Structure 1
């Protein structure tokens, strides 16, 4: 009987503890929402006409993000302020694209929400302007059902996503929350343009890594001379991080003779593939048969467990001199990073030199790219 009572007491304690926490959380949220609504009331009574004639600004403590919304319909902006301030966001609203572009040059915004159809300056011009003046800001297009195609076109110019109006409170808050998560995920994956040469087999998480003593081909295949005179090869850190997710890998045939520049192996991502070419000439001595079943090894320990194949070289002394190693490889990596940034900027229609942050690379950069960009990358960067 006593053990049963003890169990019941423990269960009751757990239930009471959960209930108390839920009640306290709800009270805190209710208090926070009340404070936000008070901030909304105060903000609407302040005059910011010196910055922009139609500017309305509401700032809340510990904001989840800072948002600028632009729409020529006052009722839409009223909805944005009420809904997003209540959800914990600081928000500025203006009624024209010109005002919005003036503000993004003075303030840092996490997001800019812009209507597509506006007089004087339409939403597409706002998207282009924001990505030029404030490349770190994510742009979301506000669109009606009749302009979905235009919204998709805006995404080609750098818009993050689009939201359809009219929208409910839950729809807007859920959508904005997802945008915040996507932004945080992208920032977590952001890569520094730093190239690190090190003795470790593990590539750095937020930089491009080059292991000391390993050669890199112009087609981004690494080559490591092993005893007794064999050469192991695999996907280098630049290609792996830019391509992102790897669903499968196709190995060369053991015993096959492959000339420098010929197809060596390929990796698959969904329905697309990227072909890597041989950095040297020789005969395939061994393949990593376990790799197709454990493609994660390409990420975790690429030079120890993620090698693709081993080759008995035919002209090693002559061909090694055409590969990059050490500081020379690091300098070449920097040039490759800049070249890729230029290519991606051109793909987004940027005709002028974009600020450095606009061209920041993220791990898995090519995962979300269209097939044309994927193909262009493989042709421009993976040729031997």
Structure 2
């Protein structure tokens, strides 16, 4: 199970390392990102922006610096790679033409708009007891996930364990844009015929976007919970603290394996044996075993 002493920084989606983009660009020798790649609110980034403005002024006067040549050595395909290439958000090559002044870059704004309308790349997966877990996502004990993205925004959804536990929902109710949600408190509700349940929010924040397609077609959440079936995007409060208490990578696999064992012990010993041989998880536990009450499943696995 999860180690209480383990400490790590928040990983951004598709960000391979924790290195600051200024370190990745070779401009500073060593600096780790501690602001979930939210450069707009980072004091270090603001200081570097000032420095780069001064350097650009010198270059325009012909005084020149070693910076451009250094970047050409590191990135042979162009001297100033876009920060979104450096963090793995987009594929290169792509040159920064605004001296890393992202706040008035149309391309940067376009990517932020895409963030508010879902995301294009399907995640890679790891397996735990046959359940898929998207790599790079954080998992809440109530079986919701959080994907920390660029600009500090957080995408939220259900994990595969939850959607297989309750089957295809009839309705999904997501808080409207502008609503505040709190970590470990009720957030997204769903129903199946005359039964309903509520899942807890993995982070605290304000709803910026809602997946209306998933609301209109709840089967999408069941079919693709980690990508097309995302639920909402939040502007988090204190994003660096929001990840505390969430499961990540190896600990999320160990936790999911434990949850699977708890579920199988409720179903019966024959399914414990099936799981031991590598059998697939049951796709609709509630529909397959109506003798296990909906309320029991919600209490034991959602904490509601």
TM-score (norm 1): 0.43
Q: How far, CA to CA, are the matches of 2:222 and 2:126 in structure 1?
A: 8
Q: How does 1:122-133 map to 2 (within 5 A)?
A: none
Q: Which has the larger radius of gyration?
A: 1
Give the SS at the match of 1:261: coil
User: Aligned partners of 2:274, 2:253: CA distance in 1, in Å?
Assistant: 22
Query: Does the alignment pair 1:227 with 2:155?
Result: no
> Taking structure 1 as reference, are residues 250 and 201 closer, same or farther at Cα in structure 2, changes over 3 Å only?
farther
Name stretches of at least 5 consecutive residues in structure 1 with no aligned partner.
Answer: 1-198, 346-352
Structure 1 pair 370/354, CA: closer, same or farther in 2 (3 Å)?
closer
Distance 1:328 1:243 in 2: 24
Does 2:263 align with 1:343?
no
Which position in structure 2 is the counterpart of 1:253? 176
SS at match of 2:247: coil
Residue aligned with 1:260, SS: coil
Long gaps (5+) in structure 2: 1-121
Q: How far apart are the structure 2 equivalents of 1:372 and 1:207?
A: 21
Give me the whole-angstrom Cα distance separating, in 2, the residues matched to 1:302 and 1:375. 22
User: What is the match of residue 208 of structure 1?
Assistant: 131
Deviation per CA, 1:58-100, whole angstroms, max 9, x where unpaired?
xxxxxxxxxxxxxxxxxxxxxxxxxxxxxxxxxxxxxxxxxxx
1:216-269 Cα deviation digits (max 9, x unpaired): 100000110112111110110111112112222111121111111221111211
Among residues 338, 344, 357, which one is paired with 2:273 in the alignment? 357
The answer as to whether partners of 1:233 and 1:307 remain within 8 angstroms in 2 is: yes
Structure 2 residue 297 is matched with structure 1 residue 377: yes
Aligned counterparts of 1:355 and 1:212: Cα–Cα separation in 2: 27
Q: How many residues align?
A: 178
* CA RMSD between the two structures: 2.6
Counterpart contact for 1:231–1:313, Cα < 8 Å: yes
Q: In the alignment, does 2:303 pair up with 1:366? A: no
Calculate the TM-score normalised by the size of structure 2: 0.53
Kindly indicate whether the alpha-carbon contact (under 8 Å) linking 1:201 and 1:303 is maintained by their aligned counterparts in 2. Answer: no
Equivalent pair of 2:155/2:231 in contact (CA under 8 Å): yes
1:287 aligns with: 210
- Distance in 2 of aligned mates of 1:355 and 1:273: 26
- In 2: Cα distance, 1:301 partner to 1:276 partner: 17
Higher strand share: 1
1:25-55 deviation digits (Å, cap 9, x = unpaired): xxxxxxxxxxxxxxxxxxxxxxxxxxxxxxx
Change (3 A) 1:203 1:248: farther
Q: Does the CA-based 8 Å contact 1:201-1:302 persist in structure 2? A: no
- Structure 1 Cα separation of the partners of residues 292 and 261 of structure 2: 20
CA offset at residue 358 of structure 1? 6.5
CA contact (8 A) 2:158 2:226 kept: no
Q: Which runs of 4+ in 1 moved over 3 A?
A: 199-204, 358-361, 368-372
